[in-house]
Structure formats: structure tokens, C-alpha cells
Amino acid sequence: MVPPPTWVKRDPDARVLVFSLRNLVRVPSRGCNAELEDVTAAVERADVIAPLRPGGPPRLVQKALWGKLGRALPAVRRLGALAAAPVDRDYDLLFVSCQNPQDLYLLGPLAPWRARCRRTAVYVDELWAHTIPDRAGELALLAQFDHVFIGQEQTSPPLSAALGRPAPYLPIGLDTLRFCPYPDPPARAVDVFNMGRRSAVTHEALKALARERGLLYLFDTMDGRASIYDFRDHRDQLAGLIQRSRYFVTNVAKVTSPEDTGGQQEVGFRFFEGAAGGAVMIGEAPRCASFDEHFGWEDAVVPMPYGTADPAAVLDALDADPERVEAIRRRNVASSLRRHDWAYRWARVLDAAGLQPSPKLAARRERLARLADEVDGGASKNGETPPARLRAA
């Protein structure tokens, strides 16, 4: 297998340096961060560096870095300086995308990066508010950045208080052009797609329904954090599966491990992915203001109680109303194109850093708006799809 490149992208006019963990932590859940980096690179004059792991510290030390010891002791971060980066020029901004604050141990000391970058910004997907008091080491790492963004609304106030300065909420997003099934939507051959954590009761009921009715029920058959070959392949495959699924089961993030969340409910990636792919989402929406704000349209999630033993009732009601289903699909996709592309999130990072948007960013936003208009207005009463002309725009 050919080793991955250290430089994912080099731009002779780059003003932004993106530090990517894609070569250091190769698990499927990190595909969302890699996607943010790729969209940023597509709309920005940016270099993307993805250092290779040079062996790293011993296994026991790595476990300490990712456990309570690593959270609490700032000095431990010196052991995690795994990234030796050949940065040879100056930039206006260093941008780091993390799944959680522990990732910053892999960045190593920030001083060498800051010497080359006028400003620094970090985006953290997940940091549950109740864990903040136990994360002194990670907070020290975050405090070194000029701008800290958090992907969980309810974490923003306590994180801001802990850092002594604003850590604004920046909603998670995705590459909506990758997930959009229009203008040439494929046949939805998968009846129900149930990805990730699931209710054992509902899972058994859906398996029985699949046997009885000959449905195609797609679900995970492996447990654990297996490595992946290529993040782009992984995201392409996921987008293709959602585009081909009639119904996509979505529930509150980490519903099976409430001890991790401390009861906090936030909008997880599954909602963004399901909506952007045009699947009808069935399940339980999180009870939080951010869901109401970012998914506040009709039927964004069709209610199906977590742990239900009768999913057929929900599926049958939807199957009996094809016009409603078609309206849900188009509304989900168009709303995602207008609200949830990573390009919109990147615009906010630029604004905070005092940088002007690039022409490529403006062009992508225009393309998203045109495609959303096509999705909204492209269906006739007999369900015809819009013309195939925008993918090459």
C-alpha cells in the first residue's frame, strides 16, 4: 500500500495552513473532520498538512494521554509531540479540526506553528460540558489558540467560562454537494438504514420485518474502531448509501452511553447526513434549542420512539403517503444545502480571524443556492426530478 502524503494540498498563494489528523488517527468517525478540511481546501487558498506518525510514544503512555491523566496534567502533552511538520513559509491562519480536545496532544507544542502563523483557530466537535472540570490539561492546550470554536451549543457557555474568553458555538456541518442526491437521484433500493448505536429491541423488530416482507435492512455488522483506507472513499460510500435509502434511523447522540454525555443532548452528525442525503429520518430528535434552530422545518425527523418494538407502524404510515415522503426528501436536501454546508461554517472562522472570504467560497455558496432552488422547484405533481445540469456548475 502506498503511504499517504504528508502534504494533502499545496497552494503557492496559500494564506491558511490546515493541520489534519487524517494520517494519525484513521478511524471512520474522523471522516467528518477530514471532510471539513477538504471543503476548506476547495474554497480557500490553503495548504493542508497531514503529518505521518513517526512511531509515537509507548502504548502505555498513549493510553495515559487519552485517559484521565492526559486530561488533568498539562505537562503530559509534551509526550504527545508526534507531529514533526516541515512548514517552510508563513501564513495568516493556522486551522486545526479536532474530534475532541485530546487530539491536540498530536499537534505537539504550538509555539513552532505559531511562529509561522499570524493567527490560530481550533474547532472541536465534541466536548461534553460535565467533563470540563476534569480537563485541565486539555483546556491549557485550547487556551493557546486565538479562536476556539465548539460544535455543541450547550458546551459553549461553560467552556467560555473555563477559558476566560468566548468559545462560540459553531454547528457541525458536512459536504452537502457530496451527499445531495439531486439532480439525478438514484433508486432508493435500501428500505431502512440503521447506522451506529441502536436499540436492540427495534433492531430485532426491523430484522423480523425484513424477513417477513423481503425488505433490505442495512445495519452495522462490526463493532469497534477499525481503521479505514481512505476518508474520502468512506464519505463517498456513506453518502451513496444514504442517497439510496428510503428511511434512515436517527436518534440522540450516544443514546446508549448517557454516562458520556451527562444528560446533555446535542445534534449529532447523523441528522446532518440523513437530511443532506434526502432520506426520510425516523427516530427521536434531540430536545435542545440547536435542533429547533437548525432543523426546524416540518418532518425533519418523523417520530419513532427509541426502543420501539413496532417500527412497521411508522413505515406503513409513511409508505401510505408518497407525496408527503417526496416533500420530506426535497425539504431535507434543500434546507441542508442552504444551511449546513461546511462552507458556511468556514465563513464564520474567517470572519472571526479578520480575513475576507475568497472568490472560491463565494462561488460555492452561489452553487449551493442554485442547487437548493432546483431541488425546491424541480418536482412536478407526478414526482419528476429536476434536470441534470448542476453537478458540473
pLDDT above 70 for 75 = no
Half-sphere exposure in the Cβ direction for 365 (13 Å, CA):
14
pLDDT above 70 for 66 = no
Instruction: Please give the average per-residue pLDDT across 356-369, as a whole number.
Output: 98
CATH architecture observed for domain 176-338: 3-Layer(aba) Sandwich (3.40)
What is d(CA 338, CA 81) in angstroms, rounded to the nearest whole number? 39
What is d(CA 361, CA 354) in angstroms, rounded to the nearest whole number? 15
pLDDT above 70 covers a percentage of the chain that reads 86
Strand order from edge to edge, sheet including 245-250: 217-219, 190-194, 245-250, 280-283, 302-303
Reduced to 3 states (helix: H, G, I; strand: E, B; else coil), residue 280 is: strand
Length of the chain equals 393
Q: What is the DSSP string of 145-159?
A: SSEEEES-GGGHHHH
Q: Is the domain covering 7-163 a CATH 1.10.3470 domain?
A: no
Cis peptide before 183 (omega within 30 of 0): yes
DSSP code at position 92: E
Least confident of 69-78, 83-92, 205-214, 315-324: 69-78
Domain boundaries along the sequence of the chain? 7-163, 176-338
Common-topology check for domains 7-163 and 176-338: yes
**pLDDT reported for residue 386:** 33
Instruction: Summarize pLDDT for 214-270 with one digit per residue, the tens.
Output: 999 999 887 766 787 899 999 999 999 999 999 999 999 877 778 888 899 999 999
Give the residue from 91, 15, 8, 10 showing the smallest Cα distance to 51: 8
Distance (Å) of CA 248 to CA 190, 197, 276: 9, 13, 12
Instruction: Summarize pLDDT for 91-134 with one digit per residue, the tens.
Output: 999 999 999 999 998 888 888 899 999 999 999 999 999 999 99
Q: Strand 7-9 and strand 46-49: pairing?
A: antiparallel
Residue 378 near residue 386, CB atoms below 8 Å: yes
Q: Which residue has the cell 452495522?
A: 220
Reduced to 3 states (helix: H, G, I; strand: E, B; else coil), residue 249 is: strand
Amino acid 222 reads: M
Question: What is the rounded average pLDDT for all residues in the chain?
Answer: 88
Amino acid 22 reads: R
What is d(CA 51, CA 124) in angstroms, rounded to the nearest whole number? 19
Query: Which H or E run contains 4?
Result: none
Number of Cβ within 10 Å of residue 23's Cβ equals 17
| Helix ranges, the chain (H) | 31-43, 59-65, 68-72, 111-114, 136-143, 156-163, 176-179, 200-213, 231-243, 258-261, 269-276, 289-294, 311-319, 322-339, 342-353, 359-377
pLDDT above 50 for 194 = yes
Least confident of 66-70, 147-151, 197-201, 379-383: 379-383
Instruction: Please give the average per-residue pLDDT across 150-170, as a whole number.
Output: 97
pLDDT above 70 for 71 = no
Half-sphere exposure in the Cβ direction for 241 (13 Å, CA):
19
All 3 cell numbers of residue 253?
447522540
Number of Cβ within 10 Å of residue 221's Cβ equals 5
Q: Strand 46-49 and strand 117-124: pairing?
A: unpaired
Reduced to 3 states (helix: H, G, I; strand: E, B; else coil), residue 385 is: coil
DSSP code at position 98: E
